[in-house]
Amino acid sequence: MSVSTSRGTVLRWQGAIAALSADDRRMLFDRIIGARGVQERTADIVARVRREGDVALRALARELDGAALDSLEVPRREWTRALAALDPALRRAMERSAANIERVHRALLPVTQETETEPGITVGRRPDPLQRVGVYAPGGAAAYPSSVLMGVVPARVAGVEEIVLCSPPGRSGRPADVVLAAASLGGVSRVFALGGAGAIAAMAYGTESVPRVDRIVGPGNAYVAEAKLQVATVVGIDSPAGPSELLVLADDSADPVLVARELLAQAEHDPLAAVVAVTTSARAAEDIQRALSEQLPAQPRHGICAAALAGQGAVLYAESLDDAIAFANAYAPEHLLLVVREADRVLARLRHAGTVFVGASASVAFGDYMTGANHVLPTGGLARSYSGLSTLDFVRWTTYQRVSPAAAARLASDVAVFADAEGLPGHAMAARAWSAEAGGAA
């Protein structure tokens, strides 16, 4: 179902959803995370870092980033200098973004919860900040200070004691100045010039220079996402956030030029980005395809956009809005933009998306930078079970229980029956002791 337009736009899929073959649906829904080559290469890197520590990290920086690292850690004075030298307009924008992120995440801080199940029996949960977390900020083709703020500010709001940032080095041997400036602005504790699967392994297992963390958060490419999955047995992760995704759900009221613009904005992230539009009519789908064809040649990152459209791009139409909503829930995108009549009514029926942008003016770009909502989101269809980054990712819950002596006496008999049924006589004896004590007290 691929197509080339007269202006050179190449889409992997176009046409009716109902006409998709089983193979088409499998490729659309089983996205890049877990690809065999990625798994094997990532496993090699993780094992190498775990075995060789800093030596492996320096070698990987030379091999993958073309950087010779004298020190893996970037001194604080360099972040401070980068922030002081930042363009004033960019600094104002970053400060506004950080303030909005803090405002949203402080409002959504988890709180202690308690309930009394029976008189004298209290069960509660208390959110305790993690001691040390690792934040990954992508680099390479582009620098992402926004990802620094999205990871660091919520961690600070949650009360994390130490925040470690890893971001790939350029040929200078350190991350981009805008990343360092964001680290200084956001309140990072330490910065390391490390990228890719190697950085994830270093934070998960620790090396001579890089401390072992309690949780790793942040977006990245397919190798970063796969590395997070591979180390998830030894360290907490937020979600395996890989290449960017966008699904636009549109009806015949949508402006095709706007829809195409939003698709291309996300396609420019990565050749592996997945951008899909689902409409309620064949005519609307044709209009969006035409708009893509017209806009693509003018894109500054034309090659990346073209590769994403050719690899994972689709413009499809459904027989009804119900079918389009069902497709969106099955696809489970990272970003979902609603350009439909009665968008709030449609929003209520959506269950599987990292974040939903409601209405034509809610551009995904606003969420990427400035609304305060977090842009670190599950990809690869994992929005079915994962949520976007929040302060919940930076706490662990301590559960506590209180049982009064009178309540213990009331529980004793039923607990002992349970324990006897499971063949645990010690449990039964511990419970019956409270019945005996209650009887003695009487």
User: Mind telling me the catalytic residues?
Assistant: 334-335
d(CA 243, CA 254): 26
From residue 83, alpha-carbon distances to 87, 92, 99, 113, 135 in Å are 9, 11, 16, 40, 19
Element (H, E) at 304: helix 302-312
Task: Kindly report the backbone phi and psi dihedral angles of residue 349, in degrees, each rounded to the nearest multiple of 5, phi listed first.
Answer: -100, 0
Element (H, E) at 217: strand 215-217
d(CA 111, CA 125): 9
C-alpha closest to that of 50 among 190, 168, 200? 200
Which amino acid would we find at residue 232? A
Decide: 340 and 354 in contact? Cβ < 8 Å.
Answer: no
Quick count: other Cβ atoms within 10 Å of Cβ 21? 10
Decide: 207 and 164 in contact? Cβ < 8 Å.
Answer: no
Instruction: Determine the 3-state secondary structure of 297 from DSSP.
Output: helix
Structure tokens at 127: 């959110």
Beta strand 335-339 pairing with 245-250: parallel
Please provide the size of the chain in residues. 442
List the beta bridge partners of residue 277.
248, 315
CA Rg value for the chain: 26
d(CA 18, CA 122): 54
Structure tokens at 162: 């130490």
Residue in the block written with tokens 């993780």: 46
b/e map of 377-393 (b: 16 or more CB within 10 Å)? bbbbbbbeebbbbbbbb
